Amino acid sequence: MFGGEQLGKKKDSPTVWHVLGLMTNIGITLAASVFIGYYMGYYLDRWLFHKTGYVMTIIFSLFGIAAGFRAVFSMINKILDEDEGNGGNKG
């Protein structure tokens, strides 16, 4: 009567907030891993090459990009594996 029948039901489809949170998490994860890789390489260049080279900056930036994409793909695979438990149906 007054919405009480909704209390026992579980929603199968993700809400807008769940999808928004997932997209935000993907963006922050990718950006943070690239920035961390870049700054690690930058400080290694300053320490090892004394501001004359950008070798470590480039290498660690590429490592950061690779780590970011790996983390994003694992998050997406985790979400897809949870959906397969439902038979792949959203509704």
User: Would 21 be classed as within a structural domain?
Assistant: no
Q: Which range of residues forms the domain containing residue 56?
A: 29-85
User: Would 8 be classed as within a structural domain?
Assistant: no
How far is 25 from 3, CA to CA, in rounded Å? 33
User: Would 41 be classed as within a structural domain?
Assistant: yes
pLDDT at 87: 54
User: Would 53 be classed as within a structural domain?
Assistant: yes
Per residue in 40-89, pLDDT tens?
999 999 888 887 778 899 999 999 999 999 999 999 898 888 777 655 55
User: Would 57 be classed as within a structural domain?
Assistant: yes
The model carries a pTM of 0.69
Per-position b or e across 57-74, b if 16+ CB within 10 A of its CB: beebbebbeebbeebbee
Answer yes or no: is pLDDT of 90 > 60: no
Domain count, the chain: 1
